[in-house]
Structure 1
Amino acid sequence: MTPTIRHLLARMAAEPPHIADMSRRRFIRNAASFGLSVTAAAAMTRHLAAPALAQNVVLPEITSVPDKLKGSGVVRVCSYGGALQEAQRRAYFKPFEELTGIKVIEAEGPDIAKVKAMVDTGNIEYDVTEQEGASVLSLAAKGDYWEKIDYSFFDVDNIDAAFRHERHVDMLPYAQIFAYRKDAFRGKVPQNNKDLWDTSGFPGPRSLMGGGALSPDLEVALMADGVAPGQVYPMDVDRGLASLRRIKPQVVKWWGSGAQPAQLLADDEVVMATAWNGRIAAIQAAGAPVEIVWQDQLLRNDCWAILKGAPNRENAQKFTAFITMAAPQARLSSLITYGFVNNKAAELLPPERLRILPTSPDIKPKLINYNAAWWSANLDTVKTKWTSFLLG
């Protein structure tokens, strides 16, 4: 394997599942440029494929929309393609078209550098894009690249303030949690981050995030060290690393791919691991004796943002408002194991589905909101210190 391929695989592995799936498809399409066959490239990245959509699901109906969301013309939307965009198409792109009279023209492959270039040149190819919040904030710090979100179109009474930002609105909530094997502790049940660190009461090997291009589990480390959930940010990086150093002897794998901790748990190679909730839901569905601990874990999101000067910016506002309504949100959560940002969506989902979604009424109060702004400002510092930590 060449250094270039090794670097690309590490970078893809560090991405959330829906983004890694897009990067995987690009890698396979460009296999020949890396001296690989399509078959070899697909096999090499099989672990990065997004989980399949739920099958035989009856989606909540959307029978009407507020008049203020109706219109004409088009809106150009850029998302990540693959299984995610198929779910979005079924959940809300098509209903939006049918109920508002505004046609959705789809694009694939959000690219923050391309957004900057489009706005700088005025050659804007799409109006609204899915992005990571940190990317939106980072670009916003460089100039006026995003429209302000017009919340007069939105169902703000049912969307938490934490999900509403001046120039982007959160979407696609997922959780960074830890999970454990139910057969590992003779009936004892881990309850919180201190138990993840308690190698006497809950003995056995662990896997924590921090391999490849991924950052370490600093928030979890701080809470395990006694920091209250509401006081995690701004983070004391050195204290977090000191906490991680205490558990380091029990960490057999610093995972750098979302599939790794789930596989380690399923194969009984570790008894506990931090992970992304969707990956754990997949192995639970396959019968693995694994349970999630939600208490004091991290709620993360992607977001939607509208490009500054987008030619169809009013339709983009209407589109973004529509997809945050309860029924569209519930439809997407029916198809993939991501949560919803409209609280009323919970009323449209069955109890068995809510049990695995991070924004369900019983789970969301246990989570703390991931602070993308803090990470955007401090990532380089953390990376430098983390590299030294791993070498030490």
Structure 2
Amino acid sequence: MNTPFELDQIEILAQKARSGAISRRSFTQLAVALMGTAAVSLRGTPVLAQSGELVFVNWGGDAMTAYDTAYGAPFLAESGITVKQDGSGPSEGAIQAQFESGKPAWDIVDADPFSAQALGKKGMMEPIDYTVVDKTKTREGFGWEYAASSYFYSYIIAYDATKYGDNPPKSMADFFDVEKFPGKRGMYKWGAGMWEALLMGDGVAPADLYPLDIERAHKKLEAFKGNVAGYWGGGAESQSMLMNGDASMVLVWSTRAKLLEQDSGGDITFIWDQGLIAPGSMAVIKGNPGGAEAAMKFIASAQDPARQLVMFNLLAQGPANPATDALLPPEEARFNPVDPANAAKQIPLNMEWYEANYGAALDAYLAIISA
């Protein structure tokens, strides 16, 4: 992983390239020197858009190809506007830095809705133009002022079926019950979804979760952390914890569920019960170089059900447009976090709570798991 300092050096190079102080070829060569070829191949060098182009910033890896295949190429065909994929990672801090530079290089970002909302209220994000983006093509309750719903995933229990036979876990209480379900556990390093899981494991009813009682959740974590084999920060890491036998149950992203079943030959499986549904979104940085109008048109084009089906097939992202559900065959629908049958068993993360409380809650969470 590149440090914030290294990423800052890349941004300095990008600014020099945009101003003509160095050539684009030199920019790429220097970026490779700073980031390393492995990082560049994974995330791509930061993208410099030409006039009339857009830059879409996501989290790198396979997502870059998937977004281009599902959304970028069709949008180019219908609008004539090229959308370049940048995998450098649109964290809340990075988005804010782009805005504060006075000359952002990014247009559209794959952002957490609560981050987009927090930055938007500070004047850093464009309000979503719902005369262009169709709010009827989103699921009820998932439209925000500064973020447009684009996909879903969940935090769910994946487990080693060979260990539990005919008595699989059925709830978060079971995840935290190591007497009835012996074995080590794996949890997410960055907190989201874990507080809800801890509280349900401590007896809080799903309907009573919010506002989250962080003190109670962290008390549960303190008592339980001796049973945790590790705290994963990426999907591949969570997958390997189960595949390698380091843990018998892990709270994983639902996008890993199908891979886990396939790679284990069915020895590892999952449940949707008491999963936590998390939304992804597209947002537009205020003052983006490609213009808000073109960015909104791209977001609207990504609402197409057939295009969202491509993203589901490539990355197992749950579609934001409910019309896509009917396009999934039954054998695939069971991997869709927002399929009606699956969604009925889960609880949506409360974006308003995360917008107001995430930073302080995460600091306290990290202090406990790192002690």
Q: Are residues 1:137 and 2:114 paired?
A: no
CA distance in 2, matches of 1:159, 1:215: 23
Q: Helix, strand or coil: the match of 1:161? A: coil
Alignment of 1:257-276 (within 5 A): 257-276=234-253
Alignment of 1:329-340 (within 5 A): 329-340=308-319
How big is the shift at 1:85?
Answer: 2.2
Q: Match for residue 249 of structure 1? A: 226
Alignment of 1:24-173 (within 5 A): 33=34, 38=37, 74=52, 76-80=54-58, 81-99=60-78, 101-108=79-86, 109=88, 111=90, 112=92, 115-116=95-96, 119=99, 123-141=103-121, 143-173=122-152
Alpha-carbon RMSD across the aligned residues, in angstroms, is: 3.2
Q: Are residues 1:277 and 2:257 paired?
A: no
* Equivalent pairs, count: 336
CA distance in 2, matches of 1:74, 1:6: 30
Q: Are residues 1:188 and 2:167 paired?
A: yes
Q: Are residues 1:198 and 2:177 paired?
A: yes
Q: Match for residue 157 of structure 2? A: 178
| CA displacement 1:168-204 (0-9 Å, x = unmatched) | 1122311111111111113112111111122222222
Q: What TM-score do the two structures reach when normalised by structure 2?
A: 0.79
CA distance in 2, matches of 1:75, 1:364: 37
- Of residues 76-85 and 162-171 in structure 1, the stretch that sits farther from structure 2 once superposed is 76-85
User: Where does structure 2 lack aligned partners over 5 or more consecutive residues?
Assistant: 5-28, 44-50
The change in CA–CA distance for 1:125 and 1:222 in structure 2 (over 3 A counts) is same
Contact 2:114 2:355 in 1 (8 A): yes
Contact 2:117 2:145 in 1 (8 A): no
Contact 1:214 1:256 in 2 (8 A): no
Sequence identity percentage: 26
Q: Match for residue 307 of structure 1? A: 285
The change in CA–CA distance for 1:189 and 1:165 in structure 2 (over 3 A counts) is same
Q: What TM-score do the two structures reach when normalised by structure 1?
A: 0.75
Q: Helix, strand or coil: the match of 1:335? A: helix
Contact 1:133 1:303 in 2 (8 A): yes
Match of 1:350 among 310, 313, 329: 329
Contact 1:107 1:126 in 2 (8 A): no
Q: Helix, strand or coil: the match of 2:169? A: coil
Q: Helix, strand or coil: the match of 2:199? A: helix
Specify the code of the residue in structure 2 equivalent to 1:294.
W
Contact 2:225 2:369 in 1 (8 A): no
Q: Match for residue 379 of structure 1? A: 358
How big is the shift at 1:128?
Answer: 2.6
The change in CA–CA distance for 1:391 and 1:306 in structure 2 (over 3 A counts) is closer
Specify the code of the residue in structure 1 equivalent to 2:279.
N
